[in-house]
């Protein structure tokens, strides 16, 4: 008996398909797909969420000082003339950051192996590169999803059957985070 469904694709295509669907599920909270795909995606997503739940509190907060360029009222960098050259003025700022402990860092890297990077484009700036930002899905897993499922022993996703697809009569399902 096979350990996984082949989904009628080569291994590289299948891995890419499953990675993209897991990424979409974690980003949006639900996806619509076929039943066979949903069962495979569910396996991968549950493993990632379990990893996030185990390591959600495994960090330490550290104070660091960072050099940040000074900005004026318009948001542009302040420059001053030193020895005939324009130089940006920097100021030091104290920040508190989360520093991952080794096991959480390993978990983060395991998640990054599965999840694709997601770029969020605001609807007002569609087609423009200026206001785009990358969404860190591993942080979303640790900060939003893991605390929600902290007291739950597995079963983080559910499959709801929708019906047959019109084109090929494949069973379509809704895969969502519980």
Same domain for 151 and 72? no
CB-CB contact of 156 with 149 (8 Å): yes
pTM: 0.84
Give the CA angle between residues 18, 176, 121 to the nearest 5°.
70
Same domain for 169 and 86? no
Q: Tell me the C-alpha to C-alpha distance, in Å, between residue 129 and each of 74, 119, 124.
A: 21, 10, 12
Report the percentage of the chain scoring pLDDT > 70. 97
Same domain for 110 and 37? yes
Give the separation between CA 5 and CA 23, rounded to whole angstroms. Answer: 19
Over the stretch 54-85, which tens digit does the pLDDT of each residue have? 999 999 999 999 999 998 888 888 899 888 89
What 3-state DSSP class applies to 101?
coil
**How many CB atoms within 10 Å of residue 143?**
13
Q: How many domains does the chain have?
A: 2
- Out of 99, 129, 150, a domain closes at 99
Over the stretch 108-149, which tens digit does the pLDDT of each residue have? 999 999 999 999 887 776 667 777 889 999 999 999 999 999
Same domain for 131 and 44? yes
Which range of residues forms the domain containing residue 148? 11-58+101-177
Residue 37, pLDDT score: 97
């Amino acid at each position: 008996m096979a350990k996984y469904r082949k989904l009628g694709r080569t291994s590289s295509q299948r891995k890419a398909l499953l990675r993209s669907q897991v990424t979409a599920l974690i980003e949006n909270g639900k996806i619509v797909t076929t039943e066979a795909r949903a069962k495979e995606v569910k396996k991968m997503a549950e493993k990632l969420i379990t990893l996030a739940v185990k390591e959600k509190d495994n960090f330490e907060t550290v104070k660091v000082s960072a050099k940040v360029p000074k900005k004026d009222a318009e948001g542009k960098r302040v420059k001053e003339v030193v020895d005939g050259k324009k130089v940006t003025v920097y100021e030091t700022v104290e920040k508190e950051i989360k520093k991952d402990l080794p096991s959480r860092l390993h978990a983060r890297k395991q998640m990054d192996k599965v999840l694709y990077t997601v770029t969020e484009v605001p609807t007002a700036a569609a087609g423009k590169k200026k206001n785009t930002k990358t969404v860190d899905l591993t942080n979303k897993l640790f900060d939003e999803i893991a605390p929600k499922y902290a007291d739950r022993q597995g079963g983080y996703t559910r499959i709801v059957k929708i019906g047959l697809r019109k084109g090929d009569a494949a069973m379509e399902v809704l895969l969502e985070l519980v």
